[in-house]
Amino acid sequence: MPQHGYGHRWRGFWRGRSCWIPSLAAAIIHALAATARPCFAMRWQYHRGEAMTDLQVPDVTCALVRQLIAMRTAPPAPEAVTVAKQCLLDWLGVTLAARHEPLVEMLCDELDGADGACSVLVRDRPASLLDAVLINGAAGHALDYDDVITAMGHPTAPVAPAVIALGEVTGASGAKVVAAFIAGLEAECRVANLLGPSHYAKGWHGTATFGCFGAAAAAGHLLDLDEAQMCHAFGIAGTQAAGLKSVFGTMSKPLHAGRAAQNGVLAARLARRGFTSDTDILGSAQGFAATQSTSVDRGAALAPRALPWVVDVLFKYHAACYLTHNTIEAAAALRDGTPFSTADIEAVTVEVQPMHMGVCNIEAPRTGLECKFSLRMTCAMALLGEDTFDEALYSDTTAARPDLAALCARTQVEPCAPTIASTVHVRLSDGRKLSHTADVTQPVRDLAAQQQRIERKFRSLGNDSLAAGTPDRIIALCRDLDRAPDLSNLLAACAEAVRV
């Protein structure tokens, strides 16, 4: 009887090939196993509805997610809680102070009229959750006066809008909001350590890229996402994470923070609904790290720490790009130590690290915003005794001042500093040569003293522009935020503050 169908054909195919096909198959399987992501099994089990076992070696995304979820099992360290509350107070201060900035007004006008129940801090009106996160996030970075951390850039700018907005709509306690903030900051710093310095050096803005992961992690904490959901949230965040340094000195830099916060919140909310993505976005061959870094370091990303990353946050006490602060401090020390006039200064040389040149080296700033990204201008301000603490100093009028412009023209910036510290050299007309080196990158461990400086900064920003009495009330509410039942009193105080 004749044989028909594929079975007959395949039996013919196998004849004479049985010796080499199994070997070929084994070689293919071996190659796939060598290149496949270790967490493929997690992905397969997740879609089958099964739990991942501890016997499997997690990929880098999964390993980081596990670290973040483990942070939920115990209260944060007291030092971490204190600094987290200081971050939120500082961020509220710079956000409220930016409410009349043109970029903030443009965003509010563009998104005006949207229904919602989420507070827009710079306006006494609500908006949809995602719109509020975008506006608040951009406003918090509009003055470029928000905190920094050496690991990734501006840590609070993309995370605070996420926890404030989601905390409001979910009715979360102050303690849970603070814990979510700490987890979000932990995530963005660890992702930053994974990618290493090449990411920023290439032109990516870490506040925008790493901040997207931070916002997603913080939102996931508030939404109680499980491990699989968090991995998908990271995948959704990672495929949206973007922001280029070429826009520094423009309105688009603050937009980065707002978009990072918005995209992170969206990622977590979509993941909770079952939206899928690459669950090893940080480790995939064409994922976030592989495409945006040449200095990937898994060990640095997952390294244990005695305390969360939040305790290393640095606060800004000059209203300019943080990379100008060493120069400002060095110039101010020279001015305070040796009396001289503007006419006495023949030449100034500022020595910084090479990375400064692509961030804050605008030679002849024309606007107040550009002044914030000019080593020459900020150095000139400090040498002439201007109050660089004062946000109002950074204006178009200041940029046009002949005395400052003339001193900028006599200033050279050299990318030759061997360490993160910056040095200012001044040559005077009488032949004297003065030099001072400054480094403001060391975290403060005297948290009581740090609290006093942040409260002074908040009052300086708000006493003349916010409703009477509200700065002190907001300060007090932030100080006790971890004991608050929810965010309602804090947000009510912020709303009252802008009714002027």
- Fold of the 322-438 domain: 60s Ribosomal Protein L30; Chain: A; (3.30.1330)
Cα–Cα distance, 412 to 397 (Å, whole number): 23
Cα–Cα distance, 74 to 70 (Å, whole number): 8
Q: Which CATH class is domain 67-315+446-497?
A: mainly alpha
> What is the model's pLDDT at position 468?
93
Give start-end residues of each CATH 1.10.4100.10 domain in the chain: 67-315+446-497
* DSSP helix/strand/coil, 41: helix
Q: Which among 337, 349, 340, 299 is positioned nearest to 196, based on CA atoms?
A: 299
> What is the model's pLDDT at position 289?
95
Q: Which among 288, 279, 101 is positioned nearest to 209, based on CA atoms?
A: 288
> What is the model's pLDDT at position 465?
85
| Residue 420 one-letter amino acid | I
> What is the model's pLDDT at position 58?
61
* Residue 427, beta-bridge partner list: 347, 433
CA distance readout (Å), 206 to 54, 233, 362: 32, 19, 20
Hey, how many other C-beta atoms are within 10 angstroms of the C-beta on 64?
26
Residues near 109 by beta carbon (within 8 Å), at least 6 away in sequence = none
Averaged pLDDT, groups of 10, the chain, 500 residues long: 40 42 44 40 36 50 97 95 98 96 95 81 92 97 94 96 98 98 98 96 96 98 98 98 94 97 98 97 95 95 96 93 94 90 93 91 93 96 92 93 95 93 95 94 91 94 90 97 98 93
- Answer for the pair 193, 214: CB distance below 8 angstroms, yes or no: no
Cα–Cα distance, 253 to 144 (Å, whole number): 9
User: What is the β-pairing status of strands 125-127 and 118-120?
Assistant: antiparallel
> What is the model's pLDDT at position 342?
85
Give start-end residues of each CATH 3.30.1330.120 domain in the chain: 322-438
> What is the model's pLDDT at position 385?
92
> What is the model's pLDDT at position 234?
98
DSSP state of 71: G
Q: The tokens of 169 are what?
A: 């709509």
Task: Give this prediction's pTM.
Answer: 0.80
Q: Which among 47, 76, 66, 71 is positioned nearest to 226, based on CA atoms?
A: 66
> What is the model's pLDDT at position 114?
61
